[in-house]
Chain A
Amino acid sequence: MTPATESVSFDDARYQQFLAALLEGDRQQARAAFEGWLHEDRPIRWLYQDILQRALYEVGARWESGSISVATEHLATAIVDSLLNLVYPRLFRRPSTGRSVVVTCSVNEHHQIGAKMVADIFEMHGWRSYFLGANIPLEDLLKLINEKKPTAAAFSLTLYFNIDALIGALTRVRESHPTLPLLVGGQAFLWGGQARITGIPGVLMPAKLEDLEAWIDAHCR
């Protein structure tokens, strides 16, 4: 996997150290490496996409290939989840655009970091994000959408075998909110599967965070 944001210098050795710390469950080491990048004032998108997302995709690939256990993958994910807290003091100080988004992981989906990063990207662009944690019941999601009347709703899917639950959720939201823009993404679509989603009217699938940002910018004009 190559880094996506080429404009920011990428130190592969440091990244490898960070990845090794995650795989060893060394929270302190991972935090120190991440704080180093924060002190260098690296862009949030770079931190999310070229460091955290990249590392998590790599951890996931190692789990799928059987070189690490589920427990190791869970621990690495938990460490990354806690690292996001270090970004928040920088993240939430953006002028508001008055727009909002509901971001969720859909039923059966326990992997929430991707969705949280998407919520944060919206915040970065001055949107108010309502982030629903992992495995939120569909009725709760619909209730929140009715209550908050967001500008858009975003869904994250990490494990492809949960796609039926996602399709069910998208269909229900589309029925009750025919014009609400629905955005879908996540690790599950790295190797295809988009066709099953794009059949639902008004569903967009930004492939990368840059594509998502381009959509956000276009929607703010």
Chain B
Amino acid sequence: MRTAGEAALTYLASGQALVLQLTPGFVIREVNSYACRRLGITPEDVQGKPFEELLVDFVSSGDLMSFVDHDGPPRLLSLCTANRVPESFFFKFYTIPDGVLALGNLDVDEQRRLRDEVLSLNSELNELTRKLHQANAELEQLNELKDRFLGMAAHDLRHPLGVLITYTELLLTESRERLTGEEVGFLQDCAEAARGMARMVDDFLDVSLISAGRFAIDPAPTSCEDLLAGAMVVVRVLSDRKQVRIHVDNHAGDRMVIMDAPKVQQVLVNLIANAVEYSRPGQEVHVELRAGGGNLEVFVRDEGPGINPEDKERLFTSFEKAGTRKTSGERSTGLGLAIARMVVETHGGHIWVDSTPGVGSTFAFTIPLEPEINIAK
């Protein structure tokens, strides 16, 4: 029959406690199987070695020896465990007939607190993740709703604006001789305002199509000359009124390019109109077309206030505008460049801007001369 002490030691040795028998000089004589498993050692590895070698931090044996049969709290010692992560054990040292018995265990309360805390954090994280997904889904739905509204509103506004523009132009053409100069001016202002509004509505419609992923292009062979001429008709009125001179250098000539002409023309008009609107009377805008390197390259250079470097990145994003103001306070939706980027990139090209504050800006884009055959229709 075992004594109570032997029974307790047997229980400890087979349980989850580190049990080490040491010589009086703290040299390891025996270790239990839990210690081997937990510390990743074998009895042969450690038998005959100083106990200190198991410790992560050097603690002098003299110091440890003072803890033998000590009545105070256990000594906290860190040991390197099997997965090479140090772990802290509470050690008691007792004198036995042929040496010292070292007993080490984890603080169960501390482990439980740690586990509860980790589980609670995990739970909180999962709840937050769920809320995040829920909020994302709601935001996406709101965004779709916004695009649908934008599309519907733009579509419904187009028709009355068309009527307004047509009849105003008709009056200007058919009844001009019966109108006073002032009345003609009023009608011209009306027509210009309606055309500006129509452009905005078209932008909204384009943006709603882009957001809904339904933006498509309809490419067909187009001459560079026609592209440029079509754009110049639109912007000439604006530049004349503002007394900004536009210089055109068409080095691409009448080269044919496969593109969606109305949309690329819209890009060109947008860039030239912007350049004019950011110029002061008497300044010049330079438009240059080149065919080279497999691309049609278009450059629009102005002598305006330029763009701050921090504004350049977000310039091609919807509803973002440059920090600088247009010289006559012209209004804009902040959509033109975002749409331009979408048109150019859908063609397989690139759009960018080089600018020096106080000197001017050059907006440029490319359209491949030989388009990819998978251009979306």
A-to-B contact residues, CB < 8 Å? 71, 74, 78, 81-82, 84-85, 88-89, 91-93, 96, 112, 116, 123, 129, 131, 133-134
Judging by beta carbons under 8 Å apart, are B123 and A133 in contact? Answer: yes
Judging by beta carbons under 8 Å apart, are A92 and B137 in contact? Answer: yes
CA A88 to CA B137, docked complex, whole Å? 9
Closest CB in chain B relative to A96 CB, distance in Å: 7
CA A173 to CA B130, docked complex, whole Å? 26
* Known pairs A92-B134, A92-B137; A85 contacts B129 (CB<8 A): yes
CA A112 to CA B124, docked complex, whole Å? 11
CA A78 to CA B117, docked complex, whole Å? 12
Partner of A91, one of B126, B133, B138: B133
Listed from nearest, the 3 A-B pairs whose CB atoms lie closest are: A92-B137, A88-B133, A85-B129
Interface string of B137-153 (1 = CB under 8 A from A): 11011000000000000
Judging by beta carbons under 8 Å apart, are A89 and B133 in contact? Answer: yes
Judging by beta carbons under 8 Å apart, are A112 and B130 in contact? Answer: no
* Known pairs A82-B122, A92-B137, A93-B140; A116 contacts B130 (CB<8 A): yes
Judging by beta carbons under 8 Å apart, are B126 and A82 in contact? Answer: yes
Judging by beta carbons under 8 Å apart, are A131 and B122 in contact? Answer: no
B127 adjacent to chain A (CB < 8 Å) = yes
Counting chain B residues whose Cβ lies within 8 A of the other chain, the interface size class is 10 to 19
Interface string of B98-126 (1 = CB under 8 A from A): 00000000000000000100010011101
Contacts of A123 in B (CB 8 A): 134
* Known pairs A71-B115, A74-B115; A92 contacts B123 (CB<8 A): no
CA A81 to CA B127, docked complex, whole Å? 9
* Known pairs A88-B130, A92-B134, A93-B137; A81 contacts B123 (CB<8 A): yes
B324 adjacent to chain A (CB < 8 Å) = no
Judging by beta carbons under 8 Å apart, are B123 and A96 in contact? Answer: no
Contacts of B42 in A (CB 8 A): none
CA A78 to CA B133, docked complex, whole Å? 19
Judging by beta carbons under 8 Å apart, are A131 and B130 in contact? Answer: yes
B318 adjacent to chain A (CB < 8 Å) = no
Contacts of B166 in A (CB 8 A): none
* Known pairs A92-B137, A93-B137; A85 contacts B130 (CB<8 A): yes
Judging by beta carbons under 8 Å apart, are B123 and A78 in contact? Answer: yes
Contacts of B126 in A (CB 8 A): 81-82, 84-85
